[in-house]
Amino acid sequence: MTIQVVLAGAVACLHMPAKFDHTVHRAFKEAYSPLLDQAEIREIAVDLSAVDLFA
């Protein structure tokens, strides 16, 4: 499961995969953790639009 990170100015958007459950926890943390250390990032958005709610 790959979490795509897109940077646009001061906003970082994490695009979640279709299957987003406990098995993706480590990948999610690895995706957002480095962003917390970047002073220029002022907002982290999480895009859940691709997540399959009934999987």
Domain-located, residue 25:
yes
Question: Domain residues for 17?
Answer: 4-47
Domain-located, residue 55:
no
Domain-located, residue 54:
no
User: For residues 23 and 51, is the Cβ–Cβ distance under 8 A?
Assistant: no
Q: Which token pair is 42?
A: 């002022």
What pLDDT, on a 0 to 100 scale, did the predictor assign at position 51? Answer: 93
By the 10 Å C-beta count (0-12 exposed, 13-18 middle, 19+ buried), 32 is classed as: middle
What pLDDT, on a 0 to 100 scale, did the predictor assign at position 21? Answer: 87
Domain-located, residue 30:
yes
CA distance 6 to 8: 7
Give the total number of structural domains in the chain.
1
Domain-located, residue 43:
yes
Domain-located, residue 53:
no
Kindly give the confidence (pLDDT) of every residue in the chain, 55 residues in length, as a single tens digit, with 9 standing for 90 and above: 689 999 999 999 999 999 888 899 999 999 999 999 999 999 999 999 999 988 6
Domain-located, residue 16:
yes
What pLDDT, on a 0 to 100 scale, did the predictor assign at position 15? Answer: 97
What pLDDT, on a 0 to 100 scale, did the predictor assign at position 29? Answer: 96
Domain-located, residue 22:
yes
